[in-house]
Amino acid sequence: MRVFFTGGGTGGHLYPALAIARALVRLEPAVRPHFIGATRGIERDILPTTGFPHTLLDLHPLYRSAPWRNWRTATGLAGGIRRVGSLARDERPRLVVATGGYASTATLAWALMHRVPYAIQDQNSFPGRTVSFFSKWADEVYLGFPEAARFFGARAAARAVDTGNPIEPPPLDRGSRTEARRTWDLPEEITFTVLAFGGSQGSAALNALVDGWISAGLPSQVGIIWSTGKAHYARYASRGTARVVIRPYLAPIAEAYAAADVAIVRAGAMTTAELCAWGIPMYLVPLPTAAQDHQTANARVLAEAGAAQWIAERDATPAALGTFVRSMASDRARHEAASRAALARARPDASRVIAERLAALLHRGERAR
């Protein structure tokens, strides 16, 4: 059974598609995923390492600040639809699974035109333009945030399912944070660990914020695991001490999650889903340039749930960050309440749940034949 998976441009769209595809293959070994993305997205580098067959289309995003360039967008979309059609002539897919981003537009347009069933997984609390448009005709829509349902039309909302975001779940036996701190060689007197990172590429703004906080002096019982991003590491490497562990990149990141009491991060959907699954309270600094400001929407939802505190990047100061950390480190009741609130939002089995629903759609198609 051939299934087209489409989504990319950023890791926030691509990695959920990969997680779902792997879960679906585990459940239905006869399924053969084929990934469709864009030549200028992260999928160009990631998909060749996955073992999945894939096709990259010459697609362009909408040029909102330079609309005269959108002829490239239209031309790329038309060419992309034709390319998907040629792939389907070899073997028509039984189903299309989309995870958003402009990389999925051509494949969804082809599926709609040729009446191929499709399902959409949306990661954020505020759906993107591609998801919003194509959700009207989707067989099912899987929500990373249940709050997103209110932004869909009646037809899409009726087919929306609160599954959470597909992530790699924490191990059943996580061990203690004390044990995890030892793997990072943090001193025994450290009883509270802060994890800070700005995504795989790092964040200049978050790095400057963390650096300013460290410069003011860490509380005596606090240590930090700080991932700067490869491009920023040389600038901050000298700030490392016994209590300040600095890495260019965290892989596997589970080892850092296991040691962390709180996290200082952006408000991307997949990052916050992982932190919720680990029960780690968050200090969120949303990326101000994110499409449709969806990271701020995510941050607000998590703050309202009690799992996070958020602050706009323009207002974020080392002093404000220090106040948050001291409060969490000194008030265990507050910390435990935030941890419970994060766990209440967690959906560690999202990949399996989505795969089961996709399998049902596939078998429904078999019966219809």
DSSP character for 170? P
Instruction: Give the model's pLDDT for residue 365.
Output: 61
Which ranges of 159-268 does DSSP label H, i.e. alpha helix? Answer: 177-183, 204-215, 233-236, 254-259
pLDDT digits (tens, 9 = 90+) for 233-260: 999 999 999 999 999 999 889 999 999 9
CA atoms within 13 A on the CB side of 66: 7
Instruction: Give the model's pLDDT for residue 367.
Output: 59
- Which residues, listed in sequence order, are joined to residue 262 by a DSSP beta bridge? 194
Query: Residue 50 CB: number of other CB atoms within 10 A?
Result: 15
Residues 6+ positions from 315 with CB-CB distance below 8 Å:
none
State the pTM of this model. 0.89
Query: Residue 61 CB: number of other CB atoms within 10 A?
Result: 18
pLDDT digits (tens, 9 = 90+) for 163-191: 999 998 898 888 889 999 999 999 999 99
Instruction: Give the model's pLDDT for residue 197.
Output: 96
**Domains of the chain with CATH codes:** 2-168+349-368 (3.40.50.2000), 177-345 (3.40.50.2000)
DSSP character for 12? H
Residue with tokens 């002539």: 89
Q: What is the mean pLDDT of each run of 10 residues along the chain (369 residues)?
A: 92 92 96 95 91 91 72 80 93 96 91 97 91 94 95 92 94 88 94 92 94 94 96 95 95 93 96 97 95 92 98 97 96 97 96 97 73
